[in-house]
Amino acid sequence: MRSLIDILDFTVEELDALIRTACDIIDNPTAYAERCRGKKLATLFFEPSTRTRLSFEAAMLELGGNVIGFSEASSSSAAKGESLADTARVISCYADIIAMRHPKEGAALVAANNATVPVINAGDGGHCHPTQTLADLLTIYREKGRFDNLTVGFCGDLKFGRTVHSLINALSRYAGIRVVLISPEELKLPSYIKKDVLAKAGIPYTQLTDLEEAIPQLDILYMTRVQRERFFNEEDYLRLKDRYILDAKKLETAKPDLCVMHPLPRVNEISVDVDKDARACYFKQVLYGKYMRMALILKLLEEAAQ
């Protein structure tokens, strides 16, 4: 049974095909409006989410399918002590496909190993978030028209930011990528990603603590929120949360075709005065996420039927 747990589960060719499908859905939405008629998506969200869960739900509804699920662990049988393996087996009897978010790293893999329907990882702790990466890739494709020869800056919480981890993995397969890592000392990209992904793929990277210094060279700036829920103490969070704030002034030295991205929710990392700048792409990114999730649901359901 094919699932999506890590973005590297899909080849570059498969990602290209998903992007083609998403672009076709954007151009011909009515051709897809009945494609999942009679099918059910279960959204199992053990961790709070607004956009990802609603994006999955909107995606399934726009394909003509139905949605069941829960949006907090306390309203599921996990609160009674049910194991994830059992939950996955049970939900497989009700739904054709599962999208799951969980605070523990590796949870989606456990579910996929026990489910009899495809499982989509909608975020597992500080590990990865492959469907956000699908949204990010379509945004980059539509804005830049390519995935190679880009200088990509990641700014903020690179330690716990699972969207950053997944996007770095995805970009590591293209030629001519350069990465600029901008974070406080305490929130640096985990060394396993530097070693096993960046160094292994031969991607040149620099680590900075200063955002202004990085901006002029970037083609893409990926801002992130400090992940409060993964901190061990509130004091550290408060000290670090407003470390980076992108505003119109800082963008003055940026390239005219810079693409500013953010997986959202935004807290203070991007000042609202940036929203009207043509380089702000984060709301388009949300919309692209829905189209990529539609393409993904179609692909996994088609493969499951074979």
Q: Which residues bind ligand NCD (CB under 6 A)?
A: 51-52, 123, 129, 132, 162-163, 225, 263-264
- Three-state SS for 196-258 is HHHHHHCCCEEEECCHHHHHHHCCEEEECCCCHHHCCCHHHHHHHCCCCCECCCHHHHCCCCC
Residue 208 CA: distances (Å) to CA of 124, 161, 168, 266: 27, 17, 17, 22
CB of 225 to ligand NCD, least distance (A): 4
CB of 178 to ligand NCD, least distance (A): 23
CB of 159 to ligand NCD, least distance (A): 12
CB of 273 to ligand NCD, least distance (A): 21
- Which backbone phi and psi does 201 adopt, to 5 degrees? -85, 0
Nearer to ligand NCD, 114 or 297 (CB): 297
Return all residues near 4 (Cβ < 8 A) that are at least 6 apart: 10, 118, 119, 120, 121, 130, 131, 296, 300
Nearer to ligand NCD, 35 or 230 (CB): 230
CB of 215 to ligand NCD, least distance (A): 21
Nearer to ligand NCD, 179 or 264 (CB): 264
Residue 186 CA: distances (Å) to CA of 213, 222, 243: 19, 19, 12
Nearer to ligand NCD, 121 or 132 (CB): 132
CB of 252 to ligand NCD, least distance (A): 27
For the chain, the first-to-last Cα distance in angstroms comes to: 10
Q: What is the Cα–Cα distance from 248 to 159, expressed in whole angstroms?
A: 26
Specify the amino acid at residue 23. Answer: C
Nearer to ligand NCD, 153 or 263 (CB): 263
Is the CB of residue 203 less than 8 Å from the CB of residue 173?
no
Nearer to ligand NCD, 51 or 284 (CB): 51
CB of 126 to ligand NCD, least distance (A): 9
Beta bridge mates, 99? 43, 120
Helix, strand, or coil (residue 24): helix
Q: What is the Cα–Cα distance from 189 to 84, expressed in whole angstroms?
A: 29
Nearer to ligand NCD, 58 or 90 (CB): 58
